[in-house]
Structure 1
Amino acid sequence: MSRRKKRRKQEEEHMDESWLVPYADILTLLLALFIVLFAASSIDAQKFQQIASSFNNVLDGGSSIMEYQAPKQPELESLPIVEEEKKPLEEKSDKQKDKEELEELQRKINKYIKQNKLDDALQTKLTEEGLLVTLQDGALFDSASAKVRAEDAELAREISELLVLNPPRKIIISGHTDNVPINNHEFESNWHLSVMRSVNFMKILLENEKLNPSYFSARGLGEYEPIATNETVEGRAKNRRVEILILPHADLQP
């Protein structure tokens, strides 16, 4: 073969190989393109520089982009709990706890009532205002009198032990009467009688040195808050009463 022909053949073989791009390089370029597109929406400056550098290396014949780690997706940070949103739940929990304490006190008083067979004289009721303990006036007073009978003063002292609480609670003593008018040398009205009954009963309670007088108050409501009809003997007997209202803790009241 002549030298000219041989040289021509070598040039043709060289030209045939020069325009070929390895299949793997094409895939690498495509992969680089898709990664750039994928990362474009959420990429930061540092990651962009890394991808751009990698892409340039591929085009320049340097290391493949496959040597770089894929950018990590940013982790979602847990949102902080807003105190204003958490507070109502805490208040609800505190109110529930306070209610449970009053329910426990009610069970304690009911146990005392049952053990001493005082069901006709004392009753308890849990209300929105607090724990209400009702004493019929016949258990403490003679008719038209505001003085606690000597033989019943011990009942008031035993009740005072049930009111020793930790922490202490505010307690309101209320006197009530029926609507039968009263006007004697001692009392001008049922209102006056109800006031003195609540005060005299509270005095005996506060003989207990474990009770703090600053948590107690007395009031008279006369005939104006009946719980039964005044048209019958039975109804009027229910209306003549002294009530002990044990309040929820002050900071929990609406």
Structure 2
Amino acid sequence: MAKKRRKKQESDHIDESWLLPYSDLLTLLVALFIVLFAMSSVDAQKFQQVSQAFNDVFKGGSGVMEYPNTKPPETADDSESQSKNEQISGLGAKDQKELSEMQQKMSDYIEENNLQGKVQTTLNGEGLLLRIRDNVLFNSGVAEVGEGNRQAALEISRLLEMDIPRNIIISGHSDNIPIKNDRFESNWELSAMRAVNFMKVILENKKLDPRLFSAKGYGEYQPIASNETAEGRAKNRRVEILILPQGGQENNTPPAKN
């Protein structure tokens, strides 16, 4: 009787041996999806962290998920370079290289001709930007380049002499102090006319092709500093020259001269 009861208890017991491989399979699937997600983000650092974590669990720190870290420890220069790359991430590698070389040449010219206080150069996602404070060129509330400032404008024009033709956009900007007189209804008109008049002086340099140039006025709507202080307003009153990368050229770009 006891033997029959024992057999019945054994037959009623559910075989759970399948749970072990099933749980292992689920764990591996979860690991696979996490790895695929990490790889899809194209982030080597995240992939390294994820693979290391799973290797520690499954292989004691080594295994097929190992991602060799050949990158040296990040230094302060690396961080600065990374920030710069993020800033100009809108440019392709070729454009970035060409414009960086152009920027270096311009920086050398600016230093040699003592233009540091007049012109700044920077790379951004659109191209190479030359920023010029308007008090270098214009009197307050005036759109015409002063006679005493024409030489500075012509010196700046030499920065735009390039072997490869590129489209160039000249933009005018103002502070937020309203202006309304017989000539200008608003800062829109003032900033636009400053850009146009500056462009006219620039194009007195016969080495430049007028077909490559255009002008815009942004009024007070693209400030680079606070308009709450006189110093900030002075920074916002400016003219900018944007040199477009080759990839951003318009269809009417003339062929390069031999």
TM bin, normalised by shorter chain, reads 0.5 to 0.7
Does residue 182 of structure 1 match 2:185?
A: no
Q: Structure 1 residues 144 and 252, CA, compared in 2 at 3 Å: closer, same or farther?
A: closer
Please give the secondary structure, in 1, of the residue aligned with 2:195. helix
Secondary structure of 1:222's match? coil
Where does residue 246 of structure 2 map in the other structure?
A: 249
Indicate which of 87, 95, 100 corresponds to 1:98. Answer: 95
Does the 8 A contact of 2:173 with 2:222 survive in 1? yes
* Distance in 2 (alpha carbons) for counterparts of 1:116 and 1:127: 24
Residue 252 of structure 1: how far off its partner (Å): 8.0
What is the TM-score when the length of structure 1 is the normalising length? 0.60
Change (3 A) 1:252 1:191: closer
Could you say which residue in structure 1 is the equivalent of 2:197? Answer: 200
Q: What CA distance in whole angstroms lies between the structure 2 residues aligned with 1:108 and 1:152?
A: 23
1:55-101 Cα distance to aligned partner (Å, 9 max, x none): xxxxxxxxxxxxxxxxxxxxxxxxxxxxxxxxxxxxxxx93232222
- Per-residue deviation at 1:112? 2.0
Name 1:164's counterpart in structure 2.
Answer: 161
* Local SS of the residue matching 1:112: helix
Aligned with residue 128 of structure 2, among 125, 131, 142:
131
What corresponds to 1:220 in structure 2?
217
The CA distance in 2 between the partners of 1:221 and 1:251, in whole Å, is 21
Confirm or deny: 8 A CA contact 1:179 1:223 kept in the other structure.
yes
Where has structure 1 moved over 4 Å in runs of 4 or more? none
Larger radius of gyration: 1
**Change in 2 beyond 3 A, CA 1:155/1:251:** closer
TM-aligned CA deviation for residue 218 of structure 1? 0.1
Identify the match of residue 239 of structure 1 among 236, 245, 256.
236
Report what 2:76 is aligned to: none
Match of residue 140, structure 1, among 137, 158, 164: 137
Alignment partner of 1:168: what SS? coil
Letter of the 2:209 partner, please give it: N
* Alpha-carbon spacing, 1:95–1:176, altered in 2? closer, same or farther (3 Å): same
1:38-187 → structure 2 map (5 Å cutoff): 95-187=92-184
Identical columns (%): 57
User: In structure 1, the residue corresponding to 2:92 is in which secondary structure?
Assistant: helix
Provide the aligned C-alpha RMSD in A: 1.8
Q: Structure 2: which amino acid aligns with 1:238?
A: K
CA distance in 1, matches of 2:113, 2:236: 23
1:112-163 Cα shifts (integer Å, max 9, x gaps): 2222322222111011100000000010000000011112111211222221
C-alpha contact (below 8 Å) 1:95/1:252 kept by paired residues:
no
Could you give the per-residue CA deviations for residues 9-32 of structure 1, whole angstroms, max 9, x where no partner exists? xxxxxxxxxxxxxxxxxxxxxxxx
Aligned length: 160
Q: What are the ranges of 5 or more consecutive residues in structure 2 without an aligned counterpart? A: 1-90, 251-258
* Aligned counterparts of 1:144 and 1:167: Cα–Cα separation in 2: 36
Number of the residue aligned with 1:230: 227
How far apart in 1 are the matches of 2:164 and 2:175?
35
